[in-house]
Amino acid sequence: MYLYHFGLSELPFTLTPNTHFFLGLAPHNEALAVLTTALKTGEGFIKVVGEVGTGKTLLCRKLLNEIPEHFVTAYIPNPYLNPDELRRALAVELGIKQAQRMSTQLLSQRIQERLLTLHSEGHSVVLILDEAQALPEESLEALRLFTNLETESRKLLQVVLFAQPELDERLATKKFRQLRQRITFSYTLRAMTTAEVEQYITHRLHIAGYKGAALFQKSIAKVIAKTSRGIPRLVNVICHKILMLCYGEGCYQVTAKHVVAAAKDTEDTIPPKRWLFPSVVSVSLSFIALTVIYSLYGVGL
């Protein structure tokens, strides 16, 4: 694609949550600090909520990579599971053999025994669920019952929930008041500021091996921040398309027309207003994409 054109060693703006590209901006550092502090207390639920694309999964993977060694983690990335499926998924993560074949009663007993064994060995166990807003109501209640497992001084299982704001809406209802009161620490991820978007773009290009002159001027980064609303995933999508456009035109500097074209071609963005770029000529992203494809295969338009 455009790697050779810009002297990159890898794609800088992919959507895969890669901790190699992690940038310790204020919201993510604060969230990690809350998580670390909460896990040290050894009690209850911990909740991190953020809009779609704000970096919850990346933060989740960062936590998994850096959690202290005495923690045993059970990670469930897709928790759209009924209580029995959730219980069996936890058992598998804890290394309980033949979990899928046991009765519910025996499985619950084995989970408690395993948690007690790990506790006696000096381990703390944390269950981490991504996309927790997808949990069925019965499974949310099952999670609360999981945290009833405890010694006289400490919970045998902590639960960390990464979720979209829809989870807060569900927890606000009367039926979940018991679970809501179990949440001892909570953090809400915010979108990036304009300055953070500029830093974010520069950081990812640097990690990807870019060594040339600045590709994205401050004025360009400012508009990307506005049209993406500071959401990292949208910044990635827009910047990836911008680099495709630059490559298709054979240029090495991002211009206003590239931003306008990329934003218009991206769902859920705020289109840049015409007055921001009065001299911009309309650009067709599809035409540029065709140009890239044809150049790759050596076919003339």
Q: What per-residue confidence (pLDDT) applies to 72? A: 95
Yes or no: say if 221 and 194 are a contact pair by the CB < 8 Å rule. Answer: yes
Give the dihedral sign, CA 23/24/26/30: positive
Q: DSSP labels for the chain?
A: --HHHHT-SS-TT-SS--GGG----HHHHHHHHHHHHHHHHT-SEEEEEE-TTSSHHHHHHHHHHHS-TTEEEEEES-----HHHHHHHHHHHTT-TTGGGS-HHHHHHHHHHHHHHHHHTT-EEEEEESSGGG--HHHHHHHHHHTT-B-SSSBS-EEEEEE-THHHHHHTSGGGHHHHHHEEEEEEEPPPPHHHHHHHHHHHHHHTT--SS-SS-HHHHHHHHHHHTT-HHHHHHHHHHHHHHHHHHT-SS--HHHHHHHHHTSTT--PPPGGGSTTPPP--HHHHHHHHHHHHHT---
- For 188-223, write each residue's pLDDT tens digit: 999 999 999 999 999 999 999 999 888 999 999 999
Confidence at 44, pLDDT banded by 50, 70, 90: confident
pLDDT band (50, 70, 90) for residue 285: low
CA distance to 6, 88, 202, 245, 246, per residue, from 254 (Å): 12, 51, 13, 9, 7
pLDDT of residue 281: 44
What is residue 276's predicted lDDT score, i.e. its pLDDT?
54
Flag whether pLDDT at 42 surpasses 70. yes
pLDDT of residue 294 exceeding 50, the answer is no
Better-predicted residue by pLDDT, 230 or 153? 230
* Mean local confidence (pLDDT), 221-244: 95
The pLDDT, as a whole number, for residue 274 is 52
Q: Which of 201, 298, 287 is closest to 244 using CA atoms?
A: 287
212, 7 Cβ separation under 8 angstroms: yes
Residue 155's identity, in one-letter code, is K
Mean pLDDT of all residues in 231-245: 95
pTM of the complete model beyond 0.95: no
pLDDT at residue number 63 = 94
pLDDT tens digits, 96-112: 988 888 898 999 899 99
What are the structural domains, with CATH classification, of the chain?
Answer: 26-189 (3.40.50.300), 193-297 (no CATH)
Tokens of 173: 């209802």
| C-alpha to C-alpha distance for 105 and 274, rounded to whole angstroms | 64
Q: 108-154, pLDDT tens digit by residue?
A: 899 999 999 999 999 999 999 999 999 999 999 888 888 888 776 78
Tell me the CA distances in angstroms from 119 to 113, 125, 151, 229, one per residue in order.
10, 8, 9, 44
Query: Residue 272: is it exposed, middle or buried by C-beta count within 10 angstroms (0-12/13-18/19+)?
Result: buried
Would you say residue 282 has pLDDT above 70?
no
For 132, list phi and psi in degrees, rounded to 5: -65, -15
Average pLDDT rounded to a whole number, residues 214-243: 94
Write down the pLDDT at residue 211.
Answer: 92
Q: Do the beta carbons of residue 240 and residue 47 sit within 8 Å? A: no
Mean pLDDT of 237-254: 92
